[in-house]
Amino acid sequence: MSGLDLLAHLRADVATARLPVIVETGREDVAAIDRAFEIGATAFVTKPLNWRLLTYQIRFALRAARSEAALRLERRRQPAEA
């Protein structure tokens, strides 16, 4: 299974559909980037890795996932409007 196949599998499963996924690849052509984001990548980094940039990408992806989860929880807690 390729990494993009795995990503598609994760997005198809309710339990992992919102999991932040950073695609790491040696390809940086436009088609590869577009395909990764079409499938549902959270971020995209290329090899050779810039470890500092990857660290910030991970921090951002986790922060965004936590914010999204908090918003979903807040919406569930709000009473339905009549």
Q: What is the pLDDT of residue 68?
A: 94
Query: How many other β-carbons are positioned within 10 Å of the β-carbon of residue 1?
Result: 8
Is residue 20 classed as helix, strand or coil in its secondary structure?
Answer: coil
- Could you give the CA distance from residue 37 to residue 41 in angstroms, rounded to a whole number? 5
- % of the chain exceeding 70 in pLDDT: 96
DSSP element (H, E) containing 38: helix 30-39
Confidence of residue 81 (pLDDT cuts 50, 70, 90): low
The confidence band for 76, taking pLDDT boundaries of 50, 70 and 90, is very high
Which one-letter amino acid corresponds to residue 52? R
pLDDT of res. 28 = 84
Q: Name all domains of the chain by residue range, CATH numbers in brackets.
A: 3-77 (3.40.50.2300)
Read off the amino acid at residue 39: I
Residue 82: band (very low, low, confident or very high) from pLDDT cuts 50, 70, 90: low
pLDDT > 90 fraction of the chain, expressed in percent and rounded: 90
Q: Pull the structure tokens for residue 66.
A: 């936590």
